[in-house]
Structure 1
Amino acid sequence: MKKFNVAIFSMAAFVLSIFSSCSKEKKETFNLYNWSYYTPDSVLEKFAKEYNCKVKVDYFDSNEMMYAKLRAGAKGYDLTIPSQDYTSIMIKQGMVQKIDHSQFPNSKYINPEALEKAKGYDPDMTWSVPYCLAASGISVNKTKVKDYEKSFDIFSRTDLAGHMTMMDDMRVTMGSALKHLGYSLNTTDDKELREAADLIINKWRPNLIKFDAEGYGKSFASGDFWVCDGYAEIVFAEVPEDKHDEVIDFFVPECGSAAYLDSMVILKDAKHYDLAMKFIDFSHRPEIYAEFCDALKFPAYINKEAAKYTKKKPMYPVETLEKVELKMDVGEALSKYDALWQEIRFSAE
């Protein structure tokens, strides 16, 4: 859902470069199960060369797909990169191995604020190492909307009706309402959840074209959607880079918003544990992590030292991420969210 299919890396070129660069001698193969286009080819190529290994990558496009495949018994992967709720689940279910900090000198570059956000499941990097923190928020087409408050209240504006959309994602959209009302997006309180649902149904939903989790980036780029609640990367990926500053204003309201924290974990049956640890440490060399930031235009929040090496302007300032809250596993209370979300969706029919 949240990852985007941007043709910025050539898969064929990557496979050719990795395997043609390896000699005929037998080499260990590091098996990475990764989000599509999430680790730059340049990083994988450098890793393979430095550690005299092969790199094989399989891809997934949702946490659910990754988790289901592993639970179904898929073998052979050494490392994967789940989001916070699935990282928590995988830790609880014994699906991952502990991080060997003696092999992780670059842990000194991990932002303590990022670990504070992970306090609900792994604040000491016992089982996981943060890779990317990214925010949901509001994207406004500045060529279409000239005067606006940087708040979720924008979705209450009837003059923008028919030109706005919010995520077709229960936790993100209800999270936006909860944060606007001053509550945690992980609340399980019935009154707070009811209040958030009523806000969406009565104030925001009448002004939306629809709830959309996949096509809002393209519709924003085409000019059909002027205001979108969702992930910045979805919008930035569809608007030509030379038009980003002219067209897009992405912001997180002062009340905060939902975010995801993707972390590297070594799988329980990994055959190449030491290579996986090397990859984790390699990824967090500041000059290497900067390549990830430049490729996908994320701010260097997880590894702030990398900002010294970045060459491109990120989608939003690093300070934006200080306001976000992670969507966590709410356990049995998820049924409360689901019941209200069905009511919200039914109101859209």
Structure 2
Amino acid sequence: MKRTTPTLAASLAAAVALAGSASAEGKLNIYNWGNYTNPKLIEKFEKEYNVEVTQDEYDSNEIMLAKVREGNSGYDIVVPSDSTVPVMIDQGLLAEVKPNEMENYGNMDPRWIDVYWDEGRNYTVPWLWGTTALTVDTAVYDGELDSLSLLFEPPEELKGRINMLNDMGEVINAALRYKGYERCNSNTDELRDVTELMISAKQHWRTMDYATIEKLTSGDVDASHSYNGAAIRSRDQRPTLQYVYPKEGFTGWMDNVAVLADAPNMENAKLFMNFLMEPENAALLSNFARYANGITGSEEFMDDDIRDAPEIVLPADAPTPDFVRPCPQEVTDMYNRIWTKLKQ
């Protein structure tokens, strides 16, 4: 996997613009979350289609959006989360490539077809999906593992030993759940309550970082707000870690493959999208990143420890994952002000 720098990405975009569509043949430029792509998947695609793939990485939907909105990014493929897809469609940033008419579309799990972010799948296909909850080292804390209180009003054993995701939506939504408030909330009294909760809790947070695997496996923290796939990868190296499904609820999400409207290698991007709907290829993603995918038949090719992982298989008594739709702009503006205050 080749990771290009922003400077190289800009140069690539300029080269594509100058050289025209003929020079784009045989290339594919991907902009995706970091540490999220199986190198074997890329190698397989390159060999099968004689396409040279380059990749650059981001660590938030906001960073990706800002880059794409500038135009002429040089990227073909992006991987937005569910709540970001409607924003990109509304702003004309994505190409309507009709994956629902592609050869491998029949492999898509029916649960993931009529989704709120792309009903009928005219723009996107699944990359991976999962949940966001928390991970705790049971060798450090052996009390009840069933609540978001471990993050927001932690026991003594975990104070100063917690990592929170550096993600505005995930952190604020977790705080709203803990307080029993609705998501996309514009109630000023409730948001004030949530803000006070997070500011009070912050004194017990050691870090706010997306690098949950590194934080947990290094022993830098003993608990972390985390994605379930990251929790599996952390537990592989630190077996006393346990993923917690809090009784107050937790986020469900799906990251999706989309093609940019100004993609310089549009046909190769479509090939890649169809390629990902092959069960064996979807399994390569799951085996690497340790998340479930949205393609039926992929289970046959998945590692046993992924198929049966407690971080993947929800307990019978667990709440239904909460897929949070995009908030109205006025609510997002309020959240931005809260986040800025929290990060000060």
Q: 1:262: how far off?
A: 1.6
Closer/same/farther in 2, CA of residues 151 and 111 from structure 1, 3 Å limit: farther
Tell me if structure 2 keeps the 8 A contact 1:103–1:278: no
Match of 1:317 among 307, 312, 315: 312
Contact 1:84 1:262 in 2 (8 A): yes
Say whether the 8 Å CA contact 1:30–1:276 is kept in structure 2.
no
What's the TM-score, normalizing by structure 2? 0.79
Equivalent residues in 2 for 1:193-342 (5 A)?
Answer: 193-202=191-200, 204-206=201-203, 208-214=204-210, 216-234=212-230, 237=233, 239=234, 241=236, 243-244=237-238, 246-300=239-293, 302-314=294-306, 316-319=311-314, 322-326=320-324, 328-342=326-340
Q: Could you give the per-residue CA deviations for residues 161-180 of structure 1, whole angstroms, max 9, x where no partner exists?
A: 23233333332111111122
Cα separation, 1, equivalents of 2:235 and 2:180: 36
Q: Which amino acid aligns with 1:86?
A: T
Asked whether the 8 Å contact 1:218–1:235 carries over to 2, the reply is no
- Gapped regions of structure 1 (runs ≥ 5): 1-8, 13-25
Which letter does structure 1 place at the counterpart of 2:259? I
What is the letter of the counterpart of residue 55 of structure 2?
A: D
Instruction: For residue 342 of structure 1, report the CA deviation from its aligned partner.
Output: 4.2
Moved more, 138-147 or 253-262: 253-262
CA deviation after TM superposition for structure 1 residue 74, in Å = 2.2
**Residue identity in the other structure for 1:109:** N
Determine the structure 2 residue equivalent to 1:73: 71
8 Å CA contact 1:182, 1:255 repeated in 2: yes
Distance 1:143 1:194, change over 3 A: same
- Residue 304 of structure 1, CA deviation: 4.2
Using a 3 Å threshold, how does the CA distance of structure 1 residues 343 and 310 change in structure 2: closer, same or farther?
A: same
Q: Are 2:137 and 1:141 aligned?
A: yes
Q: Secondary structure at the match of 2:40?
A: helix
Provide Cα deviations, 1:171-201, integer angstroms capped at 9, x if missing partner.
Answer: 2111111122333433333343233234334
The alpha-carbon deviation at position 240 of structure 1 amounts to 7.4
The whole-number CA distance in structure 2 between the counterparts of 1:294 and 1:138 is 21
Per-residue CA shift, 1:30-57, capped at 9, x if unaligned? 3232323433222222223333x32221
Answer yes or no: is the 8 Å Cα contact 1:185–1:258 preserved in 2: no
Task: Give the AA of the match of 1:153.
Answer: S
Distance 1:319 1:305, change over 3 A: farther
Number of aligned pairs?
316
Q: Provide the C-alpha distance between the structure 2 equivalents of 1:201 and 1:189, rounded to a whole number of angstroms.
A: 18
CA RMSD in angstroms comes to 3.1
